[in-house]
């Protein structure tokens, strides 16, 4: 790897910040990570990684010498020209993005004509222009600004960083944009270099489009249930058209996570605030909410009233290979089930600790079979690979009832039925 790569700063050591830092360290850069959370920084200095992401701990350990952690912004400013901003932009009550952490970073910058902010956080279109104006007002007109949205997925974040489909750089055609392009050059990815607003929009539009694809296939699944078609076959047939593509056509009980729900709402709000009613996105969100609730209807179809019924949830995280519980379908599901009077027990291979912070009244078990024991119905919520390995006859024998609701179409319906269980998938003949 090249030895003359330029040092960079990363502000914010959350998901995106840590993966960006570890990824650039792998490419040979010295990386100066800054966070206001001193406990987190102390932990990171001792090799403690605050999130669960396959391969991240190892990569950070491998590049210990290149990764520097500090609560002091001047450490990054002293060593690096490019400061990647990876702080949170959570939704406010209105659904707009909360930019207070981003604004705090902007305010903390000193006047300089040798530094640039490189925005990784997902922000509304127009944020870059606002920040440039604030820089001018604060007498920091020399500070450069680059939008460089991140497209990594939790669970495969390192691979997504090192093998991106594209790198998007939005800038004013100055040294900072050139330097960011240079940083990513070894990855050999397709480059889209554009203006700042368009780069900001690429990020929001990509997430909104992927979420639309999911809500679309979920609605097709619901029609399949009415008509007897099988959505898995339908998605296969559709996905082979390369204008459509096979990815993000897996029907299920809705999308969750820290990005899709937030970004779809933020884009809808952004459009509304600019005077445009983005009709399609309203439906994408509504379909997603209704999709989570259809599980309850499927349980009631077979069990009648759910009062005192024992329901086992397999998986709690918003998707496999993460402990992230943000906007997970399991949150809505567990509270609806308890509201209906059911007794809920749950198992997740890694998300239990996070889940305990958000879910009340659920009995957490340490294995899938513990959760299943004596259950009237089992609901597969998150498609962790270990659930695909379950011995379905053992599952049937452990249960009091015989209903398996497969919220992610993980199982082969025939095999489930052969084990003596009733099968309810999403968009599959029951």
Tell me the two tokens of residue 161: 């960083």
Of 257, 413, 425, 427, which one interacts with ligand UGA (CB under 6 A)? 257
Q: Tell me the DSSP string of 139-191.
A: T-TT-EEEE------TTSHHHHHHS-SEEEEE--SSHHHHHHHHHHGGG--EE
Q: Is 139 marked as binding a ligand?
A: no
Q: Binding-site residue total for ligand UGA (CB under 6 A)?
A: 20
Crossing angle for the helix pair 127-137 and 196-227, to the nearest 10 degrees: 150
Footprint on residues 211-250 left by ligand UGA (CB under 6 A): 214, 248-250
Name which of 74 and 283 has its Cβ closer to ligand UGA: 283
Q: Is 251 marked as binding a ligand?
A: yes
**319: contact with ligand UGA by CB under 6 A:** yes
Crossing angle for the helix pair 196-227 and 260-273, to the nearest 10 degrees: 120
Name which of 251 and 419 has its Cβ closer to ligand UGA: 251
Shortest distance in whole angstroms from residue 165 CB to ligand UGA: 9
**256: contact with ligand UGA by CB under 6 A:** yes
Shortest distance in whole angstroms from residue 192 CB to ligand UGA: 15
Q: Is 309 marked as binding a ligand?
A: no
Q: Please report the sign of the dihedral spanned by the C-alpha atoms of residue 316, residue 322, residue 323, residue 328.
A: negative
Footprint on residues 163-202 left by ligand UGA (CB under 6 A): none
Q: Confirm whether 259 is a catalytic residue.
A: yes
**89: contact with ligand UGA by CB under 6 A:** no
**334: contact with ligand UGA by CB under 6 A:** no
Tell me the two tokens of residue 397: 């024998």
Residue bearing tokens 């330097």: 179
Name which of 398 and 410 has its Cβ closer to ligand UGA: 410
Neighbouring CB atoms inside 10 A of 429's CB total 12
Q: Is 159 marked as binding a ligand?
A: no
Query: Which helix (H) or strand (E) segment is 293 a member of?
Result: helix 279-303
**152: contact with ligand UGA by CB under 6 A:** yes
Shortest distance in whole angstroms from residue 350 CB to ligand UGA: 15
Shortest distance in whole angstroms from residue 366 CB to ligand UGA: 24
Q: Provide the edge-to-edge strand list for the sheet that holds 377-380.
A: 363-364, 343-347, 310-314, 377-380, 403-406, 422-424
**124: contact with ligand UGA by CB under 6 A:** no
Shortest distance in whole angstroms from residue 326 CB to ligand UGA: 9
Q: How far is CA 278 from CA 96, 213, 248, 359, 372, in A?
A: 14, 16, 22, 33, 43
Q: Is 122 marked as binding a ligand?
A: yes
**12: contact with ligand UGA by CB under 6 A:** no
Q: Is 420 marked as binding a ligand?
A: no
Q: Is 199 marked as binding a ligand?
A: no
**63: contact with ligand UGA by CB under 6 A:** no
For residues 206 and 145, give the distance between their C-alpha atoms in angstroms, rounded to a whole number. 22
Neighbouring CB atoms inside 10 A of 361's CB total 10
Name which of 318 and 347 has its Cβ closer to ligand UGA: 318
For residues 90 and 332, give the distance between their C-alpha atoms in angstroms, rounded to a whole number. 19
Name which of 69 and 384 has its Cβ closer to ligand UGA: 384
Shortest distance in whole angstroms from residue 32 CB to ligand UGA: 23
Of the residues 33, 148, 224, 259, only one is catalytic, namely: 259
Q: How far is CA 285 from CA 331, 413, 416, in A?
A: 16, 29, 32
Neighbouring CB atoms inside 10 A of 187's CB total 15
User: What secondary structure letter does DSSP report for 14?
Assistant: S
**153: contact with ligand UGA by CB under 6 A:** yes
**255: contact with ligand UGA by CB under 6 A:** yes
Binding-site entries for substrate: 151-154, 203, 248-252, 256, 319
Q: Which residues bind ligand UGA (CB under 6 A)?
A: 122, 150-154, 207, 210, 214, 248-250, 252, 255-257, 259-260, 318-319
- Which positions are catalytic? 259
């Amino acid at each position: 790897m090249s030895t003359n790569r330029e040092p960079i700063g990363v502000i914010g050591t959350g998901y995106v910040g840590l993966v960006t830092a570890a990824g650039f360290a792998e490419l040979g850069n010295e990386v100066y990570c800054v966070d206001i959370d001193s406990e987190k920084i102390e932990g990171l200095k001792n090799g403690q990684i605050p999130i669960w992401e396959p391969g991240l701990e190892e990569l950070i350990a491998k590049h210990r010498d290149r990764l520097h952690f500090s609560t002091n912004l001047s450490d990054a400013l002293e060593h690096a020209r490019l400061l990647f901003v990876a702080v949170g932009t959570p939704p406010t009550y209105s659904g707009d993005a909360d930019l207070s952490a981003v604004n705090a970073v902007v305010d903390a910058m000193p006047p300089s004509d040798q530094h640039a902010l490189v925005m990784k956080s997902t922000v509304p279109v127009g944020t870059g222009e606002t920040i440039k104006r604030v820089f001018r007002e604060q007498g920091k007109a020399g500070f450069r600004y680059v939008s460089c949205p991140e497209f990594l997925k939790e669970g495969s974040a390192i691979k997504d960083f090192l093998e991106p489909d594209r790198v998007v750089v939005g800038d004013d055609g100055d040294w900072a944009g050139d330097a960011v392009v240079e940083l990513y050059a070894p990855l050999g990815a397709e480059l889209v270099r554009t203006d700042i607003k368009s780069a900001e929009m690429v990020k929001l539009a990509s997430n909104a489009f992927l979420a639309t694809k999911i809500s679309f296939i979920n609605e097709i699944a619901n029609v399949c249930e009415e008509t007897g078609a099988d959505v898995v076959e339908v998605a296969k047939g559709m996905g082979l058209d390369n204008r459509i593509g096979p990815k993000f056509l897996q029907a299920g009980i809705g999308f969750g996570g820290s990005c899709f729900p937030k970004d779809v709402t933020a884009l809808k709000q952004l459009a509304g605030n600019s005077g445009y009613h983005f009709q399609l996105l309203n439906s994408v969100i509504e379909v997603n909410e209704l999709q989570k609730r259809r599980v309850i209807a499927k349980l009631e179809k077979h069990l009648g009233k759910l009062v005192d019924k024992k329901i086992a949830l397999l998986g709690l995280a918003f998707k496999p290979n993460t402990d992230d519980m943000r906007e997970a379908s399991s949150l809505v599901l567990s509270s609806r089930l308890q509201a209906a009077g059911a007794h809920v027990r749950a198992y997740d291979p890694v998300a239990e600790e996070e889940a305990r912070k958000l879910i009340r009244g659920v009995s957490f078990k340490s294995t899938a079979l513990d959760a299943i024991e004596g259950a009237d119905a089992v609901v597969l919520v998150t498609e962790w690979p270990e659930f695909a390995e379950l011995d379905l006859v053992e599952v049937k024998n452990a249960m009091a009832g015989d209903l398996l609701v497969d919220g992610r179409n993980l199982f082969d319906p025939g095999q489930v039925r052969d084990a003596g269980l009733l099968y309810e998938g999403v968009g599959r003949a029951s």
